Amino acid sequence: MTIRDRYAPSPTGLQHIGGVRTALFNYLFAQSQKGAFLLRLEDTDRTRFDAAFVQNLYDTFTWLGFYWSEGPDRGGPVGPYIQSERLGLYQKHAQALVEKGRAYYCFCSTARLDALREEQAKTHAEETGYDRHCRGLSPSQGAARLAAGEAPVIRLKIPLGETTRFTDALLGSVEWKNDAITPDPVLLKSDGFPTYHLANVVDDHLMGISHVLRAQEWLPSTPLHVIMYQLFGWDHPVFCHLPMVMGQDGKKLSKRHGATSIDEFRRAGYLPEALINYVALLGASYEEGKDLYTLEELCSRFSLDKLSKAPAVFDYKKLGWYNGQYIRMKTDEALAALALPYGVEAGLFGCPGTAPDAAQHRAFSAAMGLIKERVSVLKEIPDKIRYLFAEPPLPPVSEFIPKKRDLPQTIDLLSICRNLVEPLEALSDTQAEAFIKDQAEKAGVKVGDLMMPLRVALTGARVSPPLFGTIRILGTTRSLERIDRALAALQA
């Protein structure tokens, strides 16, 4: 059997973590089985449809770096891949069910249905939903009302008193009493548009979908879909309902937990390979003792039997750890190219939006080696190195003074350091460490005590990126200017 699966989003919002996880698992499964991964746009909800969300879909997966082999923008043998372009197919198949006596025309007005819902709520009725009022209409009665100009919906005739069974690839055997399924749901609306259920089943069959991997929130809809397959006389695909993605409070991941749209993660400075790596682990395992995987490694290792039934917990700290690992894998040049837009936006080179000049660009690239080990997202980078591009505010005098030292001693220490800046600029880190250690011994002080006033003078803070690299980027002249400014403040 040729494996064919799909990602079938409704373009009514931005792409989010849950949807991307579903798409990724479908992609990994298809790749692992040398099958086909399709994209289908389920755009029949025209009230919420927005072309901007379609573009966001394409942009998101272009950025993430994995894509479908068939879809609206790529074409394929079973198109069109947009549901609003397939209306005739849904109408044809809904009508076929009517002709077989497995669906029927319903002429109930909106007013009648509203009154029915109100009555059921008022009486706390055990059975809610549609009361199958039109289920007993004969074909001739339906035809007569159609001829009279009434516009019906088409409802599915759910077999009553039966139990629907299917096997889920993850959850095992599932049974559902038909009487617990939504009573005779609408398949085709009066405007000729299908409901989700009809379009989904017809498309999956006609597109040859062999496996449906989707979130467990769709599990209650699956008995209805299985019934529809049976009434059409088709074999249903293999269903696999993926574990939910939860926040750390145990509730379904949502905006209250922080960023969920991929655009938000992208703006914050997460890397696509880190996001893919982490999302691929939400509800799946691959290899004991290994955390970092390339997309190719994930494709080769993925299988349905490695999925977990338990909900996956989305941990932003863990995602940050993954992102930090991938940041550190970048060369300084590659990291600078990724981080530069954040520097421009943060006004690192002047006003926000100002691009760096040649000297600033060189300093920015050189600074990547200083902060690579200290950031988890790209957006953190500008503030980490802002002191290299603008004079940092002078902190309180107390910040300059090492523990168990006083102000006069601190002034002496900074004065010693002033004479060390020029030789330090020309030394490698290893050479600089040996040089500073030797100078501290000659002065009879600890290395940390000698370096602290210098660090605060140059960076404005006790904690900063590596000091020797800072001196090389600032250069002797700018470093001495900052030391002199600090000495003046300490001596005032």
User: What residues act catalytically?
Assistant: 255
At 171 the three-state DSSP class reads coil
Task: For the beta carbon of residue 158, count every other beta carbon within 10 angstroms.
Answer: 22
Judged by DSSP in three states, 168 sits in strand
Task: Characterise 264 by phi-psi region: left (phi > 0), alpha (psi -120 to 50), beta (else).
Answer: alpha
Reduced to 3 states (helix: H, G, I; strand: E, B; else coil), residue 38 is strand
Rounded to 5 degrees, φ, ψ at 294 are: -75, 165
Using CB atoms within 10 A of its CB, is residue 368 exposed (0-12), middle (13-18) or buried (19+)? buried
> DSSP per residue over 267-286, as a string?
HHT--HHHHHHHHHTTTB--
Residue 399's CB is within 10 A of a number of other CB atoms, namely 14
User: How many Cα atoms occupy the beta-carbon half-sphere of 30 within 13 Å?
Assistant: 25
Cis check for the bond before 220: say yes or no (omega within 30 of 0). no
Distance CA 375, CA 339 (A): 11
